[in-house]
Amino acid sequence: MKRAVTWVLVLLLAAPLAWADFPATANVNGAQLPKSSEGLLRWKGLFKVYEAALYKSPVTQGYTLGDGSTLRLELHYLRDLSAQDLVAATQGGFERVLPPGEGLARWQGELNKTLKTYRNVSRGDRYGLEVWPQGYRLTFNGEPVLTGTDEDYARRLLGLWLLPETPVPTLRSQLLVQR
């Protein structure tokens, strides 16, 4: 019996992405973007936190802050998380992706606006971050919660998932594969 329970747990933890059903394309500021990749964030390698899909045009490998491309990152949550947990993760991650010697001062205003929009998430909720030349939008369950014009800030925010300094390197690797 103990062996059967162990195998069930292994199969559940290793199960492929199956919940999100991300669409093949996303409309971002009038541009139709193809889905370029999907990934799964696990906490401590075991617990599934969220699935992610990256939409970008053109579909290329890698990510750079100044490439001017239009992108969308969508997160589909697989467990409940508090807004406070999201705030802490975003603040810590944002500081981590800053270049050495660069402080938060330049970004603090936009970051505070973003953090104030965070809500508690339940299993099945979705956050989306869309970036295009001269703008960005944050969505919660498909509804806009924040729109801004600081493209540099939004690209840095996307860097929490896509820059080499990300706190989630396994997810980054999944999202930046070319399909």
pLDDT tens string for the chain (179 positions)?
Answer: 444 333 333 333 444 444 568 999 999 999 999 999 999 999 877 789 999 999 998 666 677 777 888 999 999 999 999 999 999 999 999 999 998 888 899 999 999 999 999 999 999 999 999 999 999 999 999 999 999 999 999 999 999 999 999 999 999 999 998 65
> Would you say residue 10 lies in a domain?
no
> Would you say residue 145 lies in a domain?
yes
Give residue 13's pLDDT: 42
> Would you say residue 21 lies in a domain?
no
> Would you say residue 18 lies in a domain?
no
We report the CATH number of the domain holding residue 56 as 3.50.70.10
What distances in angstroms separate CA 168 from CA 40, 52, 159, 174, one per listed residue? 10, 12, 10, 10
> Would you say residue 136 lies in a domain?
yes
> Would you say residue 11 lies in a domain?
no
> 170: domain range?
26-175
> Would you say residue 16 lies in a domain?
no
> Would you say residue 65 lies in a domain?
yes
If one counts the domains in the chain, the total is 1
Give residue 10's pLDDT: 38
* Token pair belonging to 112: 């505070």
